[in-house]
Amino acid sequence: MFSNTSVSSLKKLMVALSVPLAMAYGNVTQAAEPLKIAYSDWPGFVAWQVAIDKGWFKEAGLNVKFEWFDYGASMDAFTAGKVDAVFVTNGDALVVGSGGAKNTMILITDYSNGNDMIIGKPGVKSIKDLKGKKVGTEVGIVDHLLLLDALQKNGMKESDITIVNTKINDTPQALAAGDLTAVGTFEPSASQALKLVAGSKPIYTSAQSPGLIYDVLAVNPASLSNRKAEWTKLTPIWAKVVAYINDPKTQADAVKIMSARDGTTPQEYTKFLKGTRLLNVDEGKAAYVKGDGLTSLYGSTANADAFNVKNAIYKTPQDINKYIDPLLYK
């Protein structure tokens, strides 16, 4: 997952990570202060707005402050020590950590379930139709990862196509220009491309690779150690959030809350929600079981780590075990 604003922020993040961290954690971990959590406009993160509006944190006796950012800016805020935690993809948790902003993934909110996609121009019916063709996507981000996954599952290699580095924000116009056979992109750019290029269609989506892109809560280890009892209160709250969103009786109210936070209509937001597979507590616990495949957060994160190193997002493979703690699922 990524919001449009996240893409341009990735490079900005890398720049931010190259400077000494202003990790004044003596301030953010004081017990009298609320837990500060940065969130952004991915549905799995916006879901917490339900708990905020319903007053569920106060009911649980948890003093927490959610701070709204663009996706990239949320990582910047975590890197600068302005918040205790941030919602990111598991791959981006590694990116942040590789730059020195240590973090621990303690809760899974969801995995991308169709919001990321490869869109072929009119007449393109499958991934195999891309052989020898030009495909536009932003190199080094999750839709590049999705494209490689699609190629592999269709018996193809990256060298079978020509990847044209294309900003996600520019993918609709790039596909419309006619030089590309397909683009790899995500919502809302994906919907814009489909609308702009009549006859274009998704030929592969993240729904065909569950667990390739997990979204998690990454917490500063010092805050987690000092305020463990408070962090563990998030689990039952998240259970209520998922239940409220998934219950047909309350879903409309949940979507109304989330769309208001996101600045869209409930109708538009419902579509984005379908492309996000929210994970309840039992499903999250299952994903925290060690394994090599994408059903495990460990396997998915190792896959993201290899992708990040291959694409020089960082040079040294990360120690996956140090990034993952099943604390909230015990």
pLDDT for 1: 54
Summarize pLDDT for 60-94 with one digit per residue, the tens: 999 999 999 988 899 999 999 999 999 999 999 99
pLDDT for 140: 83
Which 8-state DSSP code applies to residue 127? G
Summarize pLDDT for 255-266 with one digit per residue, the tens: 999 999 988 899
Residue of 63, 27, 103 lying closest to 237 (CA atoms): 63
User: Can you tell me the mean pLDDT for 37-41?
Assistant: 94
H runs (alpha helix) in the chain: 4-17, 25-28, 43-46, 48-54, 56-59, 71-79, 90-98, 142-153, 171-177, 189-196, 221-226, 228-231, 234-246, 251-262, 266-274, 281-287, 297-310
**Rounded distance between C-alpha atoms, residue 142 and residue 99, angstroms:** 19
35-39 sheet: strands from edge to edge: 64-68, 35-39, 85-89, 214-219, 104-112, 276-278
pLDDT for 167: 86
| pLDDT at residue 242 tops 90 | yes
pLDDT for 71: 86
Whether the Cβ atoms of residue 307 and residue 91 lie closer than 8 Å to each other? yes
Pairwise pLDDT comparison (79 vs 32), residue with the higher score: 79
The fraction of the chain above a pLDDT of 70, given in percent, is 90
Summarize pLDDT for 126-172 with one digit per residue, the tens: 999 999 999 999 888 889 999 999 999 999 999 999 999 998 889 99
Q: Count of alpha carbons within 13 Å of 5, Cβ hemisphere only?
A: 11
Could you tell me the pTM of the whole model?
0.84
